[in-house]
Amino acid sequence: MAKPLRAERPSPHGPALEEAALALQRQQPEAAERLAGAVLRADRGNLVAAQILGTALLQLDRAAEAVEALRRAARRSEQPAIETLLARALAAVGEREAAFEQLRLAVGRRPAYALAFLDLGVGLGEAGRCAEGIAVLESGLALAPDADGLRVALGHLHLRRANCAAAREAFARVHAAAPGRHDAMIGLARVLALQGEHAAAAELYRRALALRPDDPLTRIALGKCLLELGQRDEGEAAIRAAGRGSDALAGLALTALAATPHGRVFLRPSAAARFLRGEG
């Protein structure tokens, strides 16, 4: 992966930039914008300030301003981190093809910057160009074989193409190397459930919930697996618990219940409401 951006020479703006970076870590984008903007007004070529400013503007949903700031910095630097950030800003303002163009520049830089491969591969997949996305992720893994995020994304693109065997291999490889990694755990559980291995999938979903107990989608997936295993009471309890957070979650929970062969269908909204309240 590319090394983090560094100022080209010692700068009097170092303390302000450190404070701005810390503000981003603390989820204080307004402070980060103010500090990085002040540095850029004094030193228009400061790439670190441009990167911090672009990140802060994106967090503030001011993507058009981020594009303007980052485009200038990308032309000056040819740094893949800035090009990747610019691509995110372009995508946020609806310029998808321009975002892909920036990411293609970024993936051509050396040393390889794994995040650029990730954003390009995932973006192509979301655009329905899964074969291209898979090729990008595989080329990134050839250069950065330990980039587990690329392999997890590759698993999801294989799932989009209904290639469960390839998806399982990708998720299982990451899970074996990093058993506590949540996204690989969820991906592998999903494949196992699709292949009918509901007991193994349920165990992985339980581990994932131990890491993130407030994840309703994982709780619904666990409930479906338990229903498939004939554990009706426990399965319905999991789905019921997941559906209590909001109307949208209630709808997802009831849809999941109806779609499961061993689930149930409610003909009346009142019956569904009673079920979610634990009254039926």
Through-space distance between the first and last CA atoms of the chain, rounded to whole angstroms: 54
Q: At what angle do helices 247-259 and 232-242 cross, to 10 degrees?
A: 150
pTM, to two decimals: 0.82
Q: Report the candidate in 147, 160, 152, 159 with the shortest Cα–Cα distance to residue 182.
A: 152
pLDDT surpasses 70 at 147:
yes
3-class state of residue 277 by DSSP: coil
Q: At what angle do helices 164-177 and 148-160 cross, to 10 degrees?
A: 160
Distance of CA 150 to the CA centre of its chain: 11
Q: Report the candidate in 85, 66, 82 with the shortest Cα–Cα distance to residue 74.
A: 82
The string of pLDDT tens digits covering residues 213-264 is: 989 899 989 999 998 898 988 888 888 888 776 777 777 777 767 666 665 5
pLDDT surpasses 80 at 273:
no
Q: What is the pLDDT of residue 218?
A: 93
Mean residue pLDDT of the chain comes to: 87
278 or 208, which is more confident:
208
Give the tokens for residue 34.
């103010």
The amino acid that residue 225 corresponds to is C
Peptide bond into 111 cis (omega under 30): yes
Q: Is 162 exposed, middle or buried (0-12, 13-18, 19+ CB in 10 A)?
A: exposed
Distance of CA 216 to the CA centre of its chain: 17
pLDDT surpasses 70 at 277:
no
The string of pLDDT tens digits covering residues 62-74 is: 999 999 889 988 8
Distance of CA 32 to the CA centre of its chain: 23
Q: Is 182 exposed, middle or buried (0-12, 13-18, 19+ CB in 10 A)?
A: middle
CB atoms within 10 A of CB 257: 25
Q: Report the candidate in 122, 114, 104 with the shortest Cα–Cα distance to residue 148.
A: 114
Note whether 168 and 188 are within 8 A (CB). yes
246 or 137, which is more confident:
137
- From residue 45, how far is each of 4, 14, 72, 192, 221 by CA, in Å? 17, 14, 9, 51, 50
Q: What is the pLDDT of residue 1?
A: 42
